[in-house]
Structure 1
C-alpha cells in the first residue's frame, strides 16, 4: 500500500519574504509617493532659490628659478662670511612654497580686504542681478541707503571682524591648487558676480607679487646695510673682497626685484569673466532631494508595517482562548 507523505517546508524567521515585502510597499504606495513629491518640490524650490555663483581662475607659474639669489651666495661665500659672523642662510628655502602659504595666510588676506574695502561685497550680499548689474543686499545686516551696518537684538553691530571675513573667504570664495606634475598653481575665486570674481583673482596675484617683492627688497637693503657696516670693521683684504661681492649681488637683487613686475608668480592664463555658473548644481539638487524623499517614504512604510505586526503579535499572545462547546 502506497502512502503519500506530505512534506511542509518551513522558512526561518529571519528569511526575507519578497512577496510580503512588495505587498507592504504596495500598501504604502501613497505614503511613498507623497514623501517623494514633497521632497522633490522642496528640492526644486531650494535649487531655484539659490543664487548663481561664478568662478574665475588664474593659472600661474613660479617666476624665479630655484638655487638663485641668496641661496647661491650662501653656497659660494657661506664659509668665508661665517668667519665675520654673517649668516647668509641656506638655499633650500622654496620661495614658491612660501608664497603659497603667504597667499592663504590670515595676515595677507586681512590686509587684502582692508586695502580694497571688501567687507561689504564679501559679507553683506545675498546675490547679484545679472541683467541690471545691481547687488542684492542682506538688509537684515546692512542698510545700502545709509551705507551702515545694522545692529542685532543684543545691540551689537553686524560689521564683520577680520577673523570672520578671512574664514568666510577661505570657506566659500577662495581656493588654491597645485599640479604636482607641472608645478603650475591655480588661484580660484567664487562670487555672485563674475566681474568681482575675476577682479579679486587678479588682485590676489598682483598683491602677492608686490608683497613678496617689497619684502625681499627690504631684506636685501637691510643685508646691504649690515654688510657695509661689517666692511668698515674689517681690515682683512680677503674678507673685504667677499663683502664687496656680497654687496654687489644684494644690490643686483634689489634692482631686479624693482624691475620685475611678476616677481614670484608669472601669469600663464589670466582670469576671465565667467559666462557660465559654477554653482549651484540645480539638477543634482533636485535628483538628490527626490531620492531622499523616496527613501524616507519607504522607511516610513516599513516602520508602520513593523509596528503593526508587533501590535498583532501582542494581541494574539494576550487574547483569551475560545471555549469549546460541551
Structure 2
C-alpha cells in the first residue's frame, strides 16, 4: 500500500515555473499574433462608441431664515406646527430636494416636458460638423415610433425604462464640506446635456416654489378661519402676526425664481468629450488580451499533457 502511494507521488511533477516559461516562449509568435488581433478588435470596438459630453452646474442651496417676529412666538410656533402650519426656522432641506430630483414623480414630469425618450433611445450619434443628431430610422422617424413587424407592438420605450436610463446619465452630488451641489448630465449632444441640466434646475426650483406657495396659501386660509372664530385679543394678535409672516414668505417665494438652489456656475456646451477614454480602453484591452492568450495556451498545454499521461498509463 505504501509503495503504491510513493509511486503515485513520484509520478506527479512539481509545479515548474521554468516549464511554464518555456511553453510560453515556444509559443511567443502565436501569443504576439493573437494579442495583436484581440487588441485590434478592441480598438475597432472603441472607435464605434460615440463620444459623450457631460455638462455640469454648480449650485448653492437656498436656506429659509426664520424671521424675528416668528422666532418670538415661542410655544405658539409649536402650536402652529401642530395645526400643519410651517413657520420656517432655517431648516436645510437640501437632502430632500436632491432625493426629489432622483424620484420617479419628478423625473416622469421631466420626461414628459422634454423630448427625453427620443434623445436617449433613438439617437445614434451627434454630427459635430453639422451639429445635428443622427436618429435611428428603424426606431423613430417622421415624429413617430416604429412598430415591431412580428409582435405589432410599438418600439416606444416605457416611462420606467426611460426613467432608468435617464437616471444612469444623471449625476446628483453634494459636497459634504461646503454643502455645494453638482448636477451633471451626459449625452452624445453637448447642447442637450446643457439644456437638460438647466431644465432640471429650473424644474426643481419651480416645483419647490409652487409647493411652498400652495402651503402658505393653505396656511393663510386656515389662520383666517381661526381668526374669525376667536374673540380673544391676544390670540387675534398672534394670528395676525402669523398671517403677516406667512404672506411675506408667500410673496418672497413668488418673486424668487431660484427658490431651492442658486446657480454658482452655469452649465456650458462642452467641447471636450467626457467618455469614452479610448486610450485606456486600448491599453487595458492589450494587457488583458495578452494575459488571456497566455492562460489559454497554458491550459491547452496541461490538457494535452494529461491526455498523454493517461494514454501511457493505459
User: TM-score, structure 2 length as denominator?
Assistant: 0.89
Give the structure 2 partner of residue 219 of structure 1.
215
Pair 31,68 (structure 1): closer, same or farther in 2 beyond 3 Å: farther
Residue 113 of structure 2 is aligned with which of 103, 112, 115?
115
**Which moves more between the two structures, 271-280 or 28-37?**
28-37
Return the alpha-carbon distance in structure 2 between the equivalents of residues 225 and 294 of structure 1: 74
What SS does structure 2 have at the residue aligned with 1:182? coil
Question: 1:21 and 2:17 equivalent?
Answer: no
Q: CA RMSD in A?
A: 2.5
Give the structure 2 partner of residue 33 of structure 1.
32
Return the alpha-carbon distance in structure 2 between the equivalents of residues 296 and 138 of structure 1: 36
Give the structure 1 partner of residue 195 of structure 2.
199
Give the structure 1 partner of residue 83 of structure 2.
86
- Consecutive unaligned residues of structure 1, counting only runs of 5 or more, are 1-9, 319-326
Contact 1:56–1:272 (8 Å) recurs in 2? yes
Q: Aligned pairs, how many? A: 304
Residue 163 of structure 1 is aligned with which of 160, 163, 173?
160
Return the alpha-carbon distance in structure 2 between the equivalents of residues 92 and 310 of structure 1: 76
Contact 2:63–2:91 (8 Å) recurs in 1? no
Q: Which has the larger radius of gyration?
A: 1
State the Cα distance separating 1:68 from its structure 2 match. Answer: 2.7
Contact 1:72–1:91 (8 Å) recurs in 2? no
State the Cα distance separating 1:83 from its structure 2 match. Answer: 8.6
Return the alpha-carbon distance in structure 2 between the equivalents of residues 274 and 280 of structure 1: 15
Return the alpha-carbon distance in structure 2 between the equivalents of residues 76 and 35 of structure 1: 80
Please state which structure has a larger fraction of its residues in helix: 2
Pair 72,237 (structure 1): closer, same or farther in 2 beyond 3 Å: closer
State the Cα distance separating 1:15 from its structure 2 match. Answer: 4.2
Return the alpha-carbon distance in structure 1 between the equivalents of residues 170 and 290 of structure 2: 36
Aligned ranges for residues 252-263 of structure 1 at < 5 Å?
252-263=248-259
Question: 1:58 and 2:57 equivalent?
Answer: yes
State the Cα distance separating 1:313 from its structure 2 match. Answer: 1.4
Return the alpha-carbon distance in structure 2 between the equivalents of residues 248 and 259 of structure 1: 17
Question: 1:101 and 2:99 equivalent?
Answer: yes
Contact 1:190–1:197 (8 Å) recurs in 2? yes
